[in-house]
Structure 1
Amino acid sequence: MTMPRHRLAAAVQLSLLLALPAAATAQTPTQQPEARTLDTVQVTGSRIRKAELETAVPVEVLTREDIDRSGFTSIADIVQNLTGSGAGLNTKFNSSGNFGFPPDGGGVGAGAATVDLRHLGAKRVLVLVDGIRWVNESSGSGVGSAVDLNTIPLALVDRIEVLEDGASSIYGSDAIAGVVNIITRRDAEGGTLDLHYGEYDGLGGATWGADLGWGGTNERAQWFLGASYYKQREIASSKFANASVPVPGTGLSNGSSATPGGRFLFAPADGNNTYGGLCPLGTDDSGAPIPGSATCDITLPNDASFPGGTTIDDYIRFGTANRYNFAPNNLLLTPSERKSVFGQVRFEFTPQVSGHVRVLYNERTSANQAAPEPIFLGTDAGVYNAYAESTLTISALNPFNPFGFDLTTEGDNPNLFLLGRRPVEGGPRRYRQDVKTWYAAGGLEGTFAVGVRTWNWDVNLVRSQSRAEQTNTGSYNIRRINQALGDPAACAGIAGCTPLNLFGGPGTITPQMLAFIQPIVRDESSNALTLASANVTGDLFEMWAGPLAFAAGLEYRKYDGSYTPDPITVAGEYNGVPSGITRGDYDVNEAYAEFSVPLMRDTAFGETLDLSIAGRYSDYSTFGGETTGKVGLRWQPVDELLWRMSYAEGFRAPSIGELYGTLSRFDATLVDPCSGAALPSPACAADGVPPGYEQTNSQISVVTSGNAALEPERSRSLMIGSVWSPSFADEVWWSDRLDLGVTFYRHHIDDAIQAPDAQAILDRCIATRDPLACASYDRSERGQIIRFDDILANLGTIKTDGWDFSAAWTLPERDWGRLRFDAKTTWVTRYELANETGELEPRRPGVEVNNSAIPEWSGTLTTDWTRGPWSLAWTMRYIDRLVESCGGANGFPICDDSALDINGLGSTTYHDLQLAWHNTAWLKGTRLALGVNNLTGKEPPVCLSCSLNGYDASTYDLPGRFVYARVGIDF
């Protein structure tokens, strides 16, 4: 049997996305006798231990050198810059406040960071640490279904292995889009200290940190202990022009109708008083006034304040110029502080049995900020709160009510349609997260003889928990607002109640008023994982082309999760997002088997042909049993060429939040297609829209919740690829080595768990009068959308396919040094998301939608020069052009084509540069690095449809250069 050359083994690992370091790729061909035995290893994507590094699926390896060269300071930043990555959450998302709650019950994930592969969502990516599952995140606002990579300090990482292929038969649920396996440091002798500092040029956002490690070995033990600290300062949205307005280039058209001066939409007491034309009568189809139909839509002049009280003469008609610009109060970069201690010890009890213990404790303190919380009252408020919508009366006796009659939402003839007030006196909303994650794992592993063969075995026990507390200041108690607006005599009988002034303009809500209506809101959430597993792998017997290898095992997992909102939220008194308590658990028992079958060795048809087969059975306490399988082929016709393919079945079990998540609200920015027409279209009229209807608020409250009847998602994945390492480019004058790779991928997901896109529901109802879509929401008599339900269900089908290309070329070493080029490109040829009716949702390649994009083309090119202790790396990151709907920007010049509702986001290329020096003569080693990410200061393209900051934070860098320095010492 001829063993594959090391050159090809390394080339296989180059077949995906990012550059491999010289340490991993510049191995020389084997010169040892064929009797040499390689250590068996386990590579992500297979449980079978084998000497060969290549498998039937491509696995990308990001080594410590790759990580250091990137200039990034978190695992999330590194994996989110893979060309096959999608829209993962990160600290550029100011994700509380207006960003809203997702429908999966996971909360907003504020301060967390996740990884998304193939644009299939973070919850469809399995994250492992040393081959074992990691606990899902807790955010303080829900029960998450994805791993927060900020709970794993970068200092702990030796390398990251990324498999972008279905692997449920190997690892179980969640491995639909792929697997990220974080391998921790083991081999260390002595201590290390690493310091880093970086800052965004012109913006601030300073980051700094320190990592301390110490490791060693003796005859029977191996250990590594460490501590890590990381600090990141915030950047205000006001520091970036495009983030300082609700939608760039549209003025205040997308600003809020809740203003510091207030917006008051009501009917006069007798329905006929027009207040000198300030509140005109409605008109019929012929344009004639309708008696009794007067409606006021008024506000105070901008920045006007009336501490002594107002009269009707102080008001003006409400218009676009009076809307509130909430954007400068947000954050462009959120603050974060992380502290970690960790360690692992491995001990050899006998030559055949060893054990290990791994522990970690991580604390994260982070924050998000939003504009002062708006107060919306009235029948059109649309906030699913009876205190605001149906049981409110602003008494005529309230000393600040200037209109002389009750403004009410009660009874058969309510006259208060909308009161929107932005109490800037209470300050911005500030959400602080305190997250504590601990992890403890222990296990035994060893070998035993089966005849003349050696088998490997291991058993593992894991217990891990992540707990979060979120403290919210700047919000309001809507029940107390009701009391403070009512009869002053009734208010006087309530401890602390002070009549509330919502009519006087900015500065007229006193500290005494705030003290009664403004609570501190505290929410808690938790996610816990208990795991036990046992595995065995080895060779069963010799076949005609080599040994039949196998792996088999059993695994038990239990998940516990809970979300406990503040008592005022549970009682329905919170002015913000309503929610109930979420609590649930489930467990699963699994068994799997995997076989590697050699079909051919050294024949006329090629050097090797191997078949891999895997199957897994999972028994869930929530929905029962599920079986998945996978088959792969690996064919090496000649030494320098490798072909491989795999076909895999996969599934993803519903998470605790998806199953048991209680009512929550997402304030979606929607464009009502019926708004703005003098006479409604027949479809809009059938939807209950009256003549002259205009959408009051661009943000519509959408209610979501979990669904205990959910079934698992099911998937099919196909991968076909090739790696070619031509011998004519091996150790010649112009090339030391050349590796070329291509991979085709396809994923098909049925029964995808999702809530339909709210805008698509609204558009579909008006366009087709689809009864399912139209039943999802209600309108008031005035046409305003006052109820919008968007509940999770197994209703989606996702299909995506594309190509990965790679090229790695290393030049021979010269007097001036060694030069290496690595290029990675991903081409997404299809992404289709079909809703419950079979219609395609707007998300597809080349389109920006819902704060995430799927670039048709994305790529990286790394040029790496080394000479002695010096190295210089230049990386270019390319993002293809995108288009988006202009949405609320229709009619503005910034929209490229208002008639077709298309706006273009130009292609973007980032340049990263790092100069490094490594000297082994000082102590045990000294490392220095200076770098700049986004060297040219490229600004992200303007996004008209994004929720915050005028750009897509999951796709693009922050504006401006990030300049950093690093110092490392080995001792």
Structure 2
Amino acid sequence: MLKSTRLCSALALAYAGMLALPAHAQDSSLERVTITGSSIKRIDAETSVPVTVINRETIDKSGASNVQELVDRLSSNNGGGRSMGESIGDSNATGQTGASMRGLGRERTLVLLNGRRLTPYPFAGQGVDLNAIPLAAIERIEVLRDGASATYGSDAIGGVINFITRKDYQGGDITASYESPQHTGGKVSGFQGGFGFGDMAKDKFNILGTFSYQKYDVIRASDREFSKTGNRPDIGVVKSSGNTFPANAYTADEGNFVPGAPGFPNCAPPDSFKGGSNCRYDYSAKIDISPASERTGALARATLALNNDHMLFTEFAYSKNEITFGSSQTPSSTTGRPDYLYPAGGKYYPTAAVEAAQPGYRGDLIIAWRMVDGGQRLTKTTNDMTRFLVGAEGTVAGFDYKLGLMKAKSKAVETFLTGNFSDTKLVEVLKTGNVNPFGPNDEAGLKLLKSAELSGENRRSHTDTDGFDFSVTRELFALAGGNAAVAVGLDLRKEKYLDGYSEIAGSGDIVGGSGNAGKVQGQRKTQGFYGELNMPVLKDVELNLAVRTDRYSGASGESRDGKFSSPDMSATSPKVSLRWTPSKTLLLRASVGKGFRAPALDNMYAPAAGTNLAGNFNDPYYNTLVGCANKPNPNYCDTQLTAINHSNPNLKPEKSRTTALGMVFEPMKDLSLEVDYFDIKLTDGIDSLTGDDIMKDWYKNQTGPTTSSSVYANRLILNAQGYLDYVNASLENLSKQQASGFDLSAKYRFRSSMGTFTPGWEGTYLTKSTKTNVVTGALEDNLGKYDQGGPVVRLKQVYTLDWDSGAWAAGVRYFRQSGYEDYDKVKQVDHYDLWDLQGQYKGIKNLAITVGVRNLFDKKPPVTVQEDYFQVGFDPTYADVKGRTYYLRANYKF
């Protein structure tokens, strides 16, 4: 058995400058363990590829209340993930949060639970929802920072995050917690705990369980000074809507605006304000910027040792997340539907104003209306995830084996609560003339509005993953540095996906521009075979050779657009890595490998569906034929125009190449320094050519009032009136990406009469981040620049200082990420930095009390002029909206 050196023990401790090696890896007399990144068990935790280990103590000191908050502070996690704020008004992946290693996107970061996959998020069909992982059950987290893994999947292009739970636990503990921001909203209360009994060494069995529950209060835009309005002329952004309250009105025959109608020109400030020749509505002031939610999680595991060589286990994981999203009140515009009319002779018909605008006209009025009396649009997303696993581990004829049989399912349901309306029914109630779009409704009007309101399920989706994995490892022949070892394995999966919308969603009958999203289902099989050979060719040199073959077969899907199938996809992905320890104080490592990722089922088979553009545009055709200055119709002027999104059954797989070089240096006792360089190149990347991309390029290359030299000009589709009907958007293998940079860390521990002090630092410095412009095809530098989905920042880092002295402990953390070029490519968004402080008392037997404050100096999100989200003035992907937050936790062990 190889001996663990002082260096090996020190090296496996890296996270946030706090290197935290699991206790079992610090004792060279204990059995070998498997570290993420290799199938081969080993004593010395540092492998030829870089792995960050985050232990339970570090998790607790972070002050994070959920997995997303913890992962957001990882320096290797950069732009392109998924924040909860992005779900406001976005039906693409409502309720999902995700990690994005190296800024390559959540779909290219592989998330595991105990070394095995989780099923994709149902509303997206790709990427794992971090909310589904209960933080209470986690013993440690191992982050493989090297892209593409022969063991876990060559689709781990950005890296692997492996959440590892307790496996052998005796006794019990319970924790109660409470978190309260200084400003209104955002309180978090919860409790969690675990128990276990049975000593594997003596009783030959162990049974354990964990549970957790948390409740998060809402934070509304009006609760924070930086988000309380979208009317920000001070920064050059006025994000508003012509669908307002009181309603703007136009004559139905010639489209003449009716000034003097109730509301204009006084409007109803501050929500409704004068903008040009009509009223505009400050809709972003009415959204929730951090949704209310309830989260429940549980994990149970039973382990039985048949004898000294064989062990059986079963594991059950469950999580449930209920999230309530609040958007602004419903606007009277619906994709692909006629204008809304208020009837001639109606109870609230503004006769005098109409006469002034168009003498003699007494016909119907086109109204651009915000249904304030209907209240905020509230929808609840409920995501249930279950995973059942049975398996065995042991030794046969000198081979260590592992096998597992898994069944995982994730269900997501979207339910209408309040403020959502049927287009058909709303048209009917408007015809009565008894609904008032120009002022508050009486009891009869409110009752009519209520009759058009939608309730109940709008979307029910699920993903299913059945899997089987088997691997064997053993030592082989002796080499100069020790025994060579080999591992071979396979994993088989069957994936099913159903994204099911209600009939009303499929028909596009939901008021507010929700489009006509449709049901899609798909399935496929995946076979993965891998082998790994670890050879200590010299005393201080270790060579690791790995190869993986993946095959995706039987892919098929069905939607209202028809039935489709896709060609089988396969690839062989090799990886070579080298580990050299020229001295006891220095480790050098290098690796090179290839990756392969097949498109998600949703990417290939989702039906064409209408939605709104993220930004506001003028329809150039309406503007030319009618004139937005003369008749600012809110369906065509300064508004979110319509796009039709298309999937692509002919998408090809993505491919990648990863190169890494690293060094770990221990120049003196208790001091460890680490530097790792990485370079990831992606080809055939799957990316969206969005309606916003097409419209921006159309205007950039405009050659006349209704002409443009944009290569995508033919994607602007006109209606019978000659105005813009919609923009054709699609998914394509358009992208090339490259991410390069350095992971850096340093940690020192020194002991004194005042206690033990542990200062540390961890950071990721990107030297390159490029991505193909999906419109022009040019490779562009996006490092330190605004990007929808989150900017890829140049430097992200965490400084730490921990102190421990018996019953007392304290820690301070400083998190900082660099600024970036803003949305307008002119301004600069400031850097974002936060200070956290924590203290702990453990002087009472079995009891630990922790108090802390996150964002000590109450730092606000940096100002940005981005217009891709409902939020205005800040970027929801970049900064936390809570502000200074106090927390208290009490843990009792029994």
Give the stretch that moved more between structures: 749-758 or 873-882. 749-758
Change over 3 Å in CA distance of 1:316–1:829 after alignment to 2? closer
Work out the CA distance in 2 between the residues paired with 1:265 and 1:590. 62
Please name the residue that 1:762 is paired with.
Answer: 695
SS at match of 1:848: coil
Pairs within 5 Å for 1:614-629: 614-622=547-555, 623-624=567-568, 625-629=570-574
Per-residue CA shift, 1:552-603, capped at 9, x if unaligned?
Answer: 11211111121222221123322233211121111112211111122222xx
Pairs within 5 Å for 1:710-725: 710-725=651-666
Change over 3 Å in CA distance of 1:781–1:504 after alignment to 2? same
Work out the CA distance in 2 between the residues paired with 1:883 and 1:133. 36
Equivalent in 99, 103, 114 of residue 119 of structure 1: 103
**Unaligned regions of 5+ residues in structure 2, if any?**
355-362, 556-566, 702-707
User: In 2, are the aligned partners of 1:481 and 1:500 still within 8 Å (CA)?
Assistant: no
Pairs within 5 Å for 1:354-393: 354-376=311-333, 383-385=334-336, 387-388=337-338
Work out the CA distance in 2 between the residues paired with 1:588 and 1:323. 52
Please name the residue that 1:517 is paired with.
Answer: 452
Work out the CA distance in 1 between the residues paired with 2:125 and 2:6. 42
**AA matched with 2:216:** Q
User: In 2, are the aligned partners of 1:259 and 1:324 still within 8 Å (CA)?
Assistant: yes
User: In 2, are the aligned partners of 1:335 and 1:367 still within 8 Å (CA)?
Assistant: yes
The Cα shift of 1:447 comes to 0.4
Please name the residue that 1:589 is paired with.
Answer: 527
Work out the CA distance in 2 between the residues paired with 1:569 and 1:12. 51
Please name the residue that 1:880 is paired with.
Answer: 818
Pairs within 5 Å for 1:168-179: 168-172=149-153, 174-179=155-160
Work out the CA distance in 1 between the residues paired with 2:828 and 2:24. 40
Equivalent in 253, 257, 277 of residue 242 of structure 2: 257
Please name the residue that 2:642 is paired with.
Answer: 701
Change over 3 Å in CA distance of 1:714–1:506 after alignment to 2? farther
Per-residue CA shift, 1:17-38, capped at 9, x if unaligned?
Answer: 55224876996xx8xxxxx755
Please name the residue that 2:394 is paired with.
Answer: 446
The Cα shift of 1:950 comes to 2.9
Please name the residue that 2:564 is paired with.
Answer: none
Change over 3 Å in CA distance of 1:619–1:563 after alignment to 2? closer
Equivalent in 727, 744, 754 of residue 788 of structure 1: 727
User: In 1, are the aligned partners of 2:552 and 2:598 still within 8 Å (CA)?
Assistant: no
Please name the residue that 1:633 is paired with.
Answer: 578
Please name the residue that 1:282 is paired with.
Answer: none
Per-residue CA shift, 1:872-908, capped at 9, x if unaligned?
Answer: 111000111222134xxxxxxxxxxxxxx52222222
User: In 2, are the aligned partners of 1:10 and 1:24 still within 8 Å (CA)?
Assistant: no
**AA matched with 1:915:** G
SS at match of 2:696: helix
Work out the CA distance in 2 between the residues paired with 1:856 and 1:320. 44
The Cα shift of 1:621 comes to 2.3
Please name the residue that 1:966 is paired with.
Answer: 889
SS at match of 1:186: coil
Work out the CA distance in 2 between the residues paired with 1:207 and 1:516. 36
SS at match of 2:694: helix
- The reply to whether residue 548 of structure 1 matches residue 505 of structure 2 is no
Please name the residue that 2:425 is paired with.
Answer: 480
User: In 2, are the aligned partners of 1:396 and 1:404 still within 8 Å (CA)?
Assistant: no
Work out the CA distance in 1 between the residues paired with 2:273 and 2:378. 32
Work out the CA distance in 1 between the residues paired with 2:19 and 2:387. 30
**AA matched with 1:11:** L
Change over 3 Å in CA distance of 1:94–1:234 after alignment to 2? farther
Work out the CA distance in 1 between the residues paired with 2:97 and 2:296. 16
Please name the residue that 2:7 is paired with.
Answer: 7
**Unaligned regions of 5+ residues in structure 1, if any?**
31-35, 102-106, 280-295, 305-314, 377-382, 407-414, 487-497, 602-606, 731-736, 887-900
**AA matched with 1:964:** Y
**AA matched with 1:52:** D
Work out the CA distance in 1 between the residues paired with 2:649 and 2:780. 28
- The reply to whether residue 913 of structure 1 matches residue 894 of structure 2 is no
User: In 2, are the aligned partners of 1:12 and 1:58 still within 8 Å (CA)?
Assistant: no
Work out the CA distance in 1 between the residues paired with 2:674 and 2:24. 14
Per-residue CA shift, 1:817-853, capped at 9, x if unaligned?
Answer: 1111110121112211103465448771222232522
Change over 3 Å in CA distance of 1:945–1:345 after alignment to 2? same
Equivalent in 229, 242, 246 of residue 245 of structure 1: 229
Work out the CA distance in 1 between the residues paired with 2:454 and 2:403. 50
Work out the CA distance in 2 between the residues paired with 1:329 and 1:468. 26
SS at match of 1:47: coil
User: In 2, are the aligned partners of 1:689 and 1:782 still within 8 Å (CA)?
Assistant: no
User: In 2, are the aligned partners of 1:401 and 1:503 still within 8 Å (CA)?
Assistant: no
**AA matched with 2:676:** T
Equivalent in 453, 463, 476 of residue 407 of structure 2: 463
User: In 1, are the aligned partners of 2:87 and 2:93 still within 8 Å (CA)?
Assistant: yes
Identity %: 24
SS at match of 1:204: coil
Pairs within 5 Å for 1:549-948: 549-575=485-511, 576-601=514-539, 607-622=540-555, 623-624=567-568, 625-670=570-615, 672=617, 696-726=637-667, 729-730=668-669, 737-768=670-701, 769-778=708-717, 785-811=724-750, 813-836=751-774, 839-840=777-778, 844-850=782-788, 852-886=790-824, 902-919=826-843, 922=845, 925-946=846-867, 947=869, 948=871
Per-residue CA shift, 1:161-186, capped at 9, x if unaligned?
Answer: 01122224322253111111011012
SS at match of 1:328: helix
Change over 3 Å in CA distance of 1:190–1:944 after alignment to 2? same
Work out the CA distance in 2 between the residues paired with 1:697 and 1:423. 20
Change over 3 Å in CA distance of 1:535–1:720 after alignment to 2? same
Work out the CA distance in 1 between the residues paired with 2:503 and 2:24. 57
Please name the residue that 1:333 is paired with.
Answer: 290
Work out the CA distance in 1 between the residues paired with 2:781 and 2:88. 23
Per-residue CA shift, 1:437-478, capped at 9, x if unaligned?
Answer: 2111010111022xxxx3210110111111122112311111
User: In 1, are the aligned partners of 2:653 and 2:684 still within 8 Å (CA)?
Assistant: yes
Change over 3 Å in CA distance of 1:462–1:229 after alignment to 2? same
Kindly indicate which of the two structures has a greater share of residues assigned to strand: 2
User: In 2, are the aligned partners of 1:744 and 1:804 still within 8 Å (CA)?
Assistant: yes
**AA matched with 2:338:** A
Work out the CA distance in 1 between the residues paired with 2:472 and 2:155. 23
The Cα shift of 1:485 comes to 4.6
User: In 2, are the aligned partners of 1:298 and 1:318 still within 8 Å (CA)?
Assistant: no
Pairs within 5 Å for 1:140-219: 142-172=123-153, 174-218=155-199, 219=203
Change over 3 Å in CA distance of 1:88–1:915 after alignment to 2? farther
Work out the CA distance in 1 between the residues paired with 2:338 and 2:107. 35
Work out the CA distance in 2 between the residues paired with 1:267 and 1:18. 67
Per-residue CA shift, 1:49-85, capped at 9, x if unaligned?
Answer: 2222111110000000000000111112111111121
**AA matched with 2:665:** W
Pairs within 5 Å for 1:305-316: none
The Cα shift of 1:2 comes to 7.3
Change over 3 Å in CA distance of 1:268–1:757 after alignment to 2? closer
Work out the CA distance in 1 between the residues paired with 2:72 and 2:836. 15
**AA matched with 1:951:** F
Give the stretch that moved more between structures: 941-950 or 862-871. 941-950
RMSD: 3.3
**AA matched with 1:319:** G
User: In 1, are the aligned partners of 2:221 and 2:229 still within 8 Å (CA)?
Assistant: no
Equivalent in 323, 330, 333 of residue 280 of structure 2: 323
User: In 2, are the aligned partners of 1:353 and 1:447 still within 8 Å (CA)?
Assistant: yes
Change over 3 Å in CA distance of 1:503–1:344 after alignment to 2? closer
User: In 2, are the aligned partners of 1:643 and 1:721 still within 8 Å (CA)?
Assistant: yes
Give the stretch that moved more between structures: 420-429 or 940-949. 940-949
The Cα shift of 1:608 comes to 2.2
Give the stretch that moved more between structures: 424-433 or 570-579. 570-579
Work out the CA distance in 2 between the residues paired with 1:716 and 1:11. 26
- The reply to whether residue 534 of structure 1 matches residue 534 of structure 2 is no
User: In 1, are the aligned partners of 2:546 and 2:575 still within 8 Å (CA)?
Assistant: yes
Work out the CA distance in 1 between the residues paired with 2:402 and 2:53. 24
